[in-house]
Amino acid sequence: MRIEQEIRIRKFNKALIYLVLILLTLICLFPFYLLIVNATRAHSEIQKGFSATFGSFFWTNLKNVLDNKQLPVLRGIVNSFLIAASSALLATYFSALTAFSIHVYDLKLKQFIFSVILLIMMIPNQVYALGFVRWMGTLGLMDSHIPLILPAVSSPVVFYFMLSYMQSNLPLAMIEAARMDGASEFRIFNQMVLPIMKPAIAVQAIFTFVGSWNNYFIPSLIIRTADKKTLPILIAQLRSADYLKFDMGQVYMLIFLAIIPILIIYIFLSKYIVRGVAVGAVKE
């Protein structure tokens, strides 16, 4: 009798849990559903009210957004992509390099350097934004993409991840053996270590790419001319420019373009991304 009761309670609990999970899923997905629906409707349709069904204006809205002279969207996507990809490349390569030097070499200031890098991690980058912007002005780098890409070389968070990964996956003996074989340090790193780091690099490349793609604050202070703008800046422009909201179909379409491509990539790579976050956690 008691066991039957227990089983029933357990089944009931489980059903409740599933309910909660489904609810959470709905809350997560509902905004995107509305986004897609409204991106397919015309301005006048949107003004009329809510609709759960799709409209037929997807291609028209897309065409209008791409043709919009005030919002160089294609340019923005290209810019965002180039900056994000370059940042991902630089961040992963140089973080791995830096982690390699801490892991492999017996340096006098090793502890100190390590602590410094940890400290850097704690500084929010908005705090030195002022000095950053003025200094870029002095260097003649205002309104250029360089200040948005180069700083990726020094990414403490990626470094930390690489170091943790190396500590569990790169035995020093391997390095010693390669040295006996006569390989130069540089070659050892590029040809032996990097391939071993591939999973870590992949995960961190994705995170760095996404982080750079979504970055708004610093780029908004640096970029001035229209065809250098990145997507987040265009979104902000959309928000503040009243005259651009005369066509809400375009508004939703622009948001769609900013969000959906990343989501599609995510759905394909989700296994690795989620695993990557988990791996990072265990290493902490």
Please say whether the beta carbons of 250 and 67 come within 8 A.
no
Paired tokens of 110: 């090793």
The set of residues, in sequence order, having a beta carbon less than 8 Å from that of 232 and lying 6+ positions away, is: 80, 214, 215, 216, 219, 220, 258
Q: What is the 3-state secondary structure (H, E, C) of 228-264?
A: HCCHHHHHHHHHHCHHHHHCHHHHHHHHHHHHHHHHH
**Smallest gap, in angstroms, from Cβ of residue 195 to another protein?**
18
Neighbours of 223 (CB within 10 A): 20
The set of residues, in sequence order, having a beta carbon less than 8 Å from that of 128 and lying 6+ positions away, is: none
Q: How far apart are CA 116 and CA 39, in angstroms?
A: 47
**Smallest gap, in angstroms, from Cβ of residue 1 to another protein?**
22
**Smallest gap, in angstroms, from Cβ of residue 134 to another protein?**
6
Q: 219 phi and psi, to 5 degrees?
A: -55, -35
**Smallest gap, in angstroms, from Cβ of residue 12 to another protein?**
13
- Length of the chain, please? 284
**Smallest gap, in angstroms, from Cβ of residue 90 to another protein?**
9
Please say whether the beta carbons of 95 and 155 come within 8 A.
yes
Paired tokens of 141: 């780098």
DSSP letter, residue 226: G
Q: How far apart are CA 179 and CA 184, in angstroms?
A: 7
**Smallest gap, in angstroms, from Cβ of residue 47 to another protein?**
5
**Smallest gap, in angstroms, from Cβ of residue 198 to another protein?**
19
**Smallest gap, in angstroms, from Cβ of residue 124 to another protein?**
5
At position 136, the amino acid (one-letter code) is M
Q: 168 phi and psi, to 5 degrees?
A: -100, -10
